[in-house]
Amino acid sequence: MNQGGPRILHVSTTSKLGGVSEVVRSELPYLTELGWQTRWVAASDLDEAHDAAFVLHNALYGVPAGDFPADQVRSGVSRFLAANTEAVVAAAREADVVVLHDPMVLTLATAIRPVTPKIAWRCHIGSEDLETIDQDAITFLRPQLDVVDHLLFSHRSLIWPGWQDDSRIIVVPPGIDPRSWKNRDLPEETYEALWSDLHAARGTCLAQDTGEQDARITLDDFGTGGLRAPGSPFVLQVSRWDPLKGQLGVVRAFARLAEDDPDTELVLVGPHIDDRQNYPVNRRVWQDLMRARQELDSPVRERVHIWRFGPVQRTGEDLALNVLRRQARTVVQNSSRESFGLTVAEAMWKRAVVVGADVDGISAQIHDGVNGLLAPYTEGEGPWADTVRRSLTDEAGRSRWSTAARTTVEERYLSRPGVQRQTAAFTGTPDTGKNTPRPGP
């Protein structure tokens, strides 16, 4: 390897939004501390390949829509490769290890194989309901999978049928960086200053306080308003505008909760929507949420707030989420699929009381009644409302759950141990077990 230290290249479709970006961003400082030279390239020119990327995304999440459209995906992949191969190959020539993230980027593996010593593919999507995974999608990707040296999955239960014994597999749950603006403990005066604006869905700027030029919070409530008062209790869900995240079910179930709870409010917050970068379904989900809110009875509707960040200001968004999670009475994550659920770990680290859907990576993190609560995924019915009501009213439980939540993340879901586990595999260093995450509950 290079005498200046081993060189690692991460490749993803974006470096701005989503769980993949959060994972890479949280790991880079620890790679540097361990002596690695790091570089991150966004193969972001999806052009007309959005549909192909979305098909692969859903197929490996176990939510395919009909027969796998191989010709459509092949056409989209061809356009993606034509737009991105040259730049990624050039970057790969200067790397000792290349880590490709998610299925569309995996399609670059064959192109970079001749120019770099080692390739890893990190799968950030999947479901423990393995029978739902579209095997045709795996077959489509097989030529690329065959040329990589390491396959990274976030949980052993997500490894595809027939692949569990593949010697290339490394199980590494995503971790959080406790030093980031999103996760660090802020001075009390900073929390108070931010909350005085955030509770009213107003933006602010902390560039002077933080030294970060992107510490600007831009927030739009699109007429859904801010909280009625700074101290109003509220339920919070943070997620992208995606049908798998279940926000529509949260709105409908909250209406049931609100029937006998006149005080609690609901805040759904998500990223800026850029139609050039996002899937078309992202805007449709947001529009459906706005319509669902409008259909609620007036007293309940006024307590449902749908907020969107403006064009990405990374530090600003991180600060906003830090404060929102601290202030929320309960944080929920009603996903129908979630290979890990980084938003859950982030909330648990902030000692939030979390109610998560009993699926996949969320149930791997939350031990029901110990460090949070689990409820079945809801489209509006079922026990979700009663479970959230318990999270709001059980004071003794809240104290136990929030303390145990922080401990769980500290023991199992910080970035540094995961980085050490990966780099040990990349360099052939024996894994002593010291940095292996503890078994789940």
Q: Nearest CA to 123 among 394, 411, 362, 361?
A: 361
At residue 250 the predicted structure's pLDDT band, cuts being 50, 70 and 90, is very high
Claim to verify: residue 141 and residue 82 sit in the same structural domain:
yes
Range of the structural domain that residue 111 is part of: 7-175+414-427
- Within 8 A by CB and 6+ apart from 284, the residues are none
* Helix, strand, coil in percent for the chain, rounding step 5: 45, 15, 40
For residue 249, is pLDDT > 50?
yes
DSSP string, 97-109: EEEEEHHHHHTTH
Q: Mean of the pLDDT values across residues 288-302?
A: 96
pLDDT tens, position by position, 338-357: 988 999 999 999 999 999 99
**CATH number for position 380:** 3.40.50.2000
Cβ atoms within 10 A of the Cβ of 84, count?
Answer: 25
The percent of residues in the chain predicted with pLDDT above 90, rounded, is 82
Q: Mean of the pLDDT values across residues 26-45?
A: 93
Report yes or no on 355 lying in a domain.
yes
Residue 191 gets the label, from left (phi > 0), alpha (psi -120 to 50) or beta, of alpha
pLDDT tens, position by position, 203-235: 998 887 888 889 899 999 999 999 999 999 999
Claim to verify: residue 95 and residue 192 sit in the same structural domain:
no
Claim to verify: residue 248 and residue 111 sit in the same structural domain:
no
What is the number of structural domains in the chain? 2
pLDDT tens, position by position, 2-34: 567 899 999 999 887 778 989 999 999 999 999
Report yes or no on 182 lying in a domain.
no
Report yes or no on 246 lying in a domain.
yes
Alpha-helix residue ranges (DSSP H) falling in 217-358: 247-257, 280-294, 298-301, 314-327, 342-349
d(CA 117, CA 98): 9
At residue 439 the predicted structure's pLDDT band, cuts being 50, 70 and 90, is very low
pLDDT tens, position by position, 58-84: 999 998 778 999 999 999 999 999 999
Query: Are 8 and 97 a contacting pair, CB within 8 Å?
Result: yes
For residue 254, is pLDDT > 60?
yes
Claim to verify: residue 93 and residue 201 sit in the same structural domain:
no
pLDDT tens, position by position, 97-129: 999 999 999 999 999 999 999 999 999 999 999
pTM (predicted TM-score): 0.91
- Average model confidence (pLDDT) across the chain: 92
Cβ atoms within 10 A of the Cβ of 154, count?
Answer: 27
